[in-house]
Amino acid sequence: MGKSLKSMTHQEILATIPHRYPFLLIDGMLECDGDLYAIGFKNITSNEPSIYGCSPKNPRFPESLITECMAQVGAAAVLNHPENQGKIMLFAAVDNLRFYKKVFPGDRLISRVDRIFMKSNLGKMKAVAHVNDELVAEGEFSYALTKI
């Protein structure tokens, strides 16, 4: 179906999804196997203002942004396909979302997204996020593709 990638650079991600700083929350894609799965990462640094919102004395990466990281990995994988150029991904629902660990500055958040199904312009994916091989979060994302 789509082209199979081993990885995507930051510049390739910028060319694929519409997000820009400060809302671009993935730094790179480690693996992307057609439209079956993708693995991307976000390096968490103390330079990000969002980590101080929960507790200035104990900064951590907010769960809402962990969710967005997982969603952006899925979006980059799906929108990278030639047949999806000129489209955007709209998320319709997040199901069974669970958080298990906190994420702190210095961590590398690794997100893996697996396709559950894709039919016409509708799809669903399962996402998990890890730091140092420890499960941080998981959930399922339903989405629709539409022209820009």
To which H or E segment does residue 146 belong?
strand 134-147
pLDDT number for residue 1: 40
pLDDT number for residue 2: 46
Q: Which two tokens stand for residue 7?
A: 């990885």
Query: CA-CA distances (angstroms) from residue 20 to 3, 10, 35, 80, 122?
Result: 24, 11, 23, 16, 25
Residue-range domain boundaries for the chain? 10-147
pLDDT in tens, 30-68: 998 767 899 999 999 998 888 887 677 889 999 999 999
Specify the long-range contacts of residues 102-106, CB closer than 8 Å, at least 24 apart.
102/60, 102/61, 103/44, 103/60, 103/61, 103/66, 103/131, 103/136, 104/44, 104/51, 104/59, 104/60, 104/61, 105/44, 105/45, 105/46, 105/48, 105/51, 105/59, 105/61, 106/44, 106/45, 106/46
Q: Please determine, looking at this structure, whether the domain spanning 10-147 carries the CATH number 3.40.50.970.
A: no
Give the integer Cα–Cα distance in Å for 15 and 34.
18
pLDDT in tens, 65-109: 999 999 999 999 998 888 888 899 999 999 999 999 999 999 999
Q: Which two tokens stand for residue 95?
A: 């199901």
Question: Whole-prediction pTM value?
Answer: 0.91
- In the chain, what's the furthest Cα-to-Cα distance? 48
Average pLDDT of every residue of the chain: 90
